[in-house]
Amino acid sequence: MTAPQGRVRLIAAVSVPLPGGTAAIAAALEVPRGTERGSEFPGRRSTRVWADDATVVKIRDDVEWAARDAERWVEARVERERALGCYPPERSWFVLDADDGDPLRIGVATSRRRPLHLWSDAELEAGWPRFCAAFAALYLDAAEQGWRLDEGLSNLAWDADGVRLRYLDDDLYAWDRGTALQLGLPALARRLGWLAAEHGEALGRALREELRRRPLLLASAELADALRLDGTASPFLAAVAAELVRPDAHPASAAGSGAADGATLVIADVHANLEALTAVLASDDARGASRILVLGDVVGYGPDPQEVVERLASDERVVAVLGNHDAAAVEGAPSTFNADARWSAEWTREHLDAEALSWLGSLPRERDSADGWLAVHGAPIDPARFNAYVYRMTADDNLDALELAGHSLCFHGNTHVAGSWVRRARTMPGEFVAPELPLALERYRAALVCPGGLGQPRDGIPGAAYAVLEPDARRIRFGRVDYDLGPVQERMRRAAFPDKLIARLGLGR
Ligand code: ZN
**What is the whole-number distance in angstroms between the Cα of residue 485 and the centre of ligand 1?**
18
**What is the whole-number distance in angstroms between the Cα of residue 300 and the centre of ligand 1?**
8
**What is the whole-number distance in angstroms between the Cα of residue 413 and the centre of ligand 1?**
7
Q: Of 407, 363, 399, whose CA–CA distance to 379 is shortest?
A: 399
Q: Check residue 477 and give its pLDDT.
A: 96
Q: Check residue 252 and give its pLDDT.
A: 34
pLDDT digits (tens, 9 = 90+) for 307-331: 999 999 999 999 999 999 999 999 9
**What is the whole-number distance in angstroms between the Cα of residue 175 and the centre of ligand 1?**
48
**What is the whole-number distance in angstroms between the Cα of residue 338 and the centre of ligand 1?**
13
User: 345 vs 10, 297, 382, 458, 507, CA distance in Å?
Assistant: 54, 11, 22, 19, 22
Q: Of 473, 469, 502, whose CA–CA distance to 488 is shortest?
A: 502
Cα–Cα distance, 286 to 1 (Å, whole number): 72
Tally Cβ neighbours within 10 Å of residue 486: 10
Which pairing describes strands 409-411 and 446-450: parallel, antiparallel, or unpaired? parallel
E strand or H helix at 167:
strand 165-167
**What is the whole-number distance in angstroms between the Cα of residue 271 and the centre of ligand 1?**
7
- List, in sequence order, every residue forming a beta bridge with 51; answer none if it has no partner: 56
**What is the whole-number distance in angstroms between the Cα of residue 484 and the centre of ligand 1?**
20
Furthest-apart CA atoms within the chain: distance in Å: 87
* Cα atoms found within 13 Å of the Cα of residue 360, Cβ hemisphere only: 32
pLDDT digits (tens, 9 = 90+) for 266-282: 999 999 999 999 999 99
Q: Check residue 250 and give its pLDDT.
A: 41
**What is the whole-number distance in angstroms between the Cα of residue 366 and the centre of ligand 1?**
16
**What is the whole-number distance in angstroms between the Cα of residue 400 and the centre of ligand 1?**
24
User: Which DSSP category does 154 fall into?
Assistant: G
Instruction: Quote the pTM value.
Output: 0.53
Q: Check residue 46 and give its pLDDT.
A: 78
Q: Check residue 101 and give its pLDDT.
A: 63
Residues of the chain whose pLDDT is less than 70?
1-3, 100-102, 215-216, 230-232, 248-261, 473
- DSSP for 290-318 reads EEEEE-S--SSSSS-HHHHHHHHHT-TTE
Cα–Cα distance, 37 to 45 (Å, whole number): 11
